[in-house]
Structure 1
Amino acid sequence: MNKSEAILKANNLSKRFGGLAAVDNISFQVVPFGVTSIIGPNGAGKSTLFNLLSGTFRPDSGSVLLNDQNVTRMNSVERLFSGMARSFQITNLFFDLTVIDNLRLASQTLHPRSYLYLPLSKCELALARADELLVEFGLLDSRNQLAGALSHGQQRRLEIAVTLATRPKLLLLDEPTQGMSQGDTQETAELIKQLGSKITVLLIEHDVDLVMDLSKTVIVMAQGKKLAEGSPQEVRSNLLVQAAYFGEETA
């Protein structure tokens, strides 16, 4: 892979909490479009790595580059305006607002900052983007429902729509199917696959079968380190991964 092709570059990232190396000298690159997934046992350091990539945490060492721009010292809001958006494990919505108002508020960042003091009804770009997202995410029938009244699957779908309001180039999804029914998980998997044809998706997911079906590249973590990286087929056949993650014998 030509290094200039990478939309995201993590270079020797490390983060310690006291004596624990939660992320230990990890490097990888993500090329544009498709889905790249990070998997690993509980405590492997996946969420800490996501926090380093998204700007929630500052690394002890190493760097993060987005489209060859060094964003290591940027916070999450600054990275959002640079083209990176993130969803969280816990649903993060305004439950007392309607679906359309959640989307309008998120889309308001498409306007100059002077528009922040205007009523939402005056923000035409935000209104148009919110309407686009309602259609794209199958939420049109829920337009005027309170977000808190939606099913868990619909809330997760809305949350992904909210993260896309600013038209990011890179979307970080942190366990988007957590707590979902099988039907909602299948629908969300199809949605993520469709998103991967339009933007770049970096995914943390506990459902290994879903990851293997969706991903172009899989990164495996264990005890804060990168254990393996490659195509789903390469990762499944890796003896170290089989022993550390799938619990299979290597002999």
Structure 2
Amino acid sequence: MAETAENLLGESGAYALELFGVGRRFGALTALADITLTVRAGERRAVLGSNGAGKTTLFNVITGDFPPSSGYIRFFGEDITRFSAFERIRRGLRRTYQISLLFGGLTVLDNIFLACRGVSRRRFSLLRPKRDDATMEQAERILKAVKLEDSRNAQVAALSHGQQRQLEVALALAGAPRFILFDEPAAGLSPAERRDLVSILTSLPSHIGYIIIEHDLDVALRVSERVTMMHNGRIFKEGTPEEIENDPQVQEIYLGGGHG
């Protein structure tokens, strides 16, 4: 079960993300109820659960898209509960979405460059970047990290679905993120593309922690150190990937009695 807030208050410096008693209501509907969750700096966490469990609402509350109805949130020890989404981005929080948010008419490299420029001090500059521009150099490094070097000049609209998902990961890496929320990055990918995704996620710099929401359990369990199970807007169970995979209750509720 999740640790209580009282037990964690003295250890905030060890955590990238802390939620204490977080709830979210939409009228009479309770989407999240009393979520207390902590993720250490550099930790890779999977959040799993059936449709309607509250996973995406949890992400929306963390990123500031929805304010919590109760509780509070800390990011690297700072209370961000009432911060705007942009203020959270400036502090190093990033997110991908289930639906692609890409510039289809631009090249892969241009998309990454614009993402890097958008979180830089020079984000309002209209000057064309020089060859040795630091932001362009960062875009080049990210391009290699997500294995899209061969598609650098391709228009995004012409990419395969899997390549577009890789590009979304690239955009989340823009501007020195400290923590990333991945929302179903393996959705619609082929087996080969899923292997590439696992390779990309496991190769991220060790200081970048993340939470991944994913219906593909094989992907989720391979790229995470700990797993949080959600059910009806609450945390149902937490443990290592091995503990969750072998848990009888998890198998019965989420895996249909077994998981090969």
Moved more, 214-223 or 124-133: 124-133
Partner of 1:101: 110
Aligned pair in 2 of structure 1 residues 151, 213: CA closer, same or farther (>3 Å)? same
* TM-score relative to the length of structure 2: 0.90
- CA offset digits 1:127-148 (Å, max 9, x no partner): 1111111222221221111111
Instruction: Please state how far the C-alpha of 1:99 moved relative to its aligned partner.
Output: 0.9
* TM-score relative to the length of structure 1: 0.93
Instruction: Please state how far the C-alpha of 1:212 moved relative to its aligned partner.
Output: 1.7
Matched, 1:17 2:26: yes
Gaps of 5+ in 2: 1-7
Instruction: Please state how far the C-alpha of 1:110 moved relative to its aligned partner.
Output: 5.0
**Counterpart-to-counterpart distance in 1, 2:247 and 2:70:** 29
The 8 Å contact of residues 110 and 126 in structure 1, kept in 2 or not, is answered as no
Instruction: Please state how far the C-alpha of 1:159 moved relative to its aligned partner.
Output: 1.1
Partner of 2:235: 226
Instruction: Please state how far the C-alpha of 1:246 moved relative to its aligned partner.
Output: 2.4
The 8 Å contact of residues 107 and 125 in structure 1, kept in 2 or not, is answered as no
Instruction: Please state how far the C-alpha of 1:242 moved relative to its aligned partner.
Output: 3.0
Matches within 5 A, 1:169-180: 169-180=178-189
Partner of 1:210: 219
Matched, 1:37 2:30: no
Q: Secondary structure at the match of 1:103?
A: helix
Considering only aligned residues, what root-mean-square deviation do their CA atoms show, in Å?
1.8
What amino acid is aligned across from residue 102 of structure 1 in structure 2? N
**Counterpart-to-counterpart distance in 2, 1:129 and 1:192:** 18
Which of the numbers 234, 245, 258 marks the counterpart of 1:236? 245
Gaps of 5+ in 1: none
The 8 Å contact of residues 100 and 144 in structure 1, kept in 2 or not, is answered as yes
Partner of 1:156: 165
Partner of 2:17: 8
What amino acid is aligned across from residue 36 of structure 1 in structure 2? R
Which of the numbers 113, 124, 139 marks the counterpart of 1:116? 124
**Counterpart-to-counterpart distance in 1, 2:245 and 2:109:** 42
Instruction: Please state how far the C-alpha of 1:182 moved relative to its aligned partner.
Output: 0.9
The 8 Å contact of residues 90 and 119 in structure 2, kept in 1 or not, is answered as no
**Counterpart-to-counterpart distance in 2, 1:106 and 1:54:** 17
Matches within 5 A, 1:118-157: 118-122=126-130, 124-157=133-166
Instruction: Please state how far the C-alpha of 1:16 moved relative to its aligned partner.
Output: 1.1
The 8 Å contact of residues 35 and 193 in structure 1, kept in 2 or not, is answered as no
**Counterpart-to-counterpart distance in 1, 2:47 and 2:192:** 23
Instruction: Please state how far the C-alpha of 1:72 moved relative to its aligned partner.
Output: 1.1
Partner of 1:82: 91
- CA offset digits 1:10-56 (Å, max 9, x no partner): 11111111222111111110012241000000110100001001111
The 8 Å contact of residues 64 and 84 in structure 2, kept in 1 or not, is answered as yes
**Counterpart-to-counterpart distance in 2, 1:146 and 1:118:** 22
Q: Secondary structure at the match of 2:252?
A: helix
The 8 Å contact of residues 25 and 225 in structure 1, kept in 2 or not, is answered as yes
Aligned pair in 2 of structure 1 residues 55, 120: CA closer, same or farther (>3 Å)? farther
What amino acid is aligned across from residue 95 of structure 2 in structure 1? R
**Counterpart-to-counterpart distance in 2, 1:74 and 1:80:** 10
Matched, 1:72 2:86: no
**Counterpart-to-counterpart distance in 2, 1:214 and 1:132:** 22
The 8 Å contact of residues 120 and 175 in structure 2, kept in 1 or not, is answered as no
Instruction: Please state how far the C-alpha of 1:198 moved relative to its aligned partner.
Output: 4.2
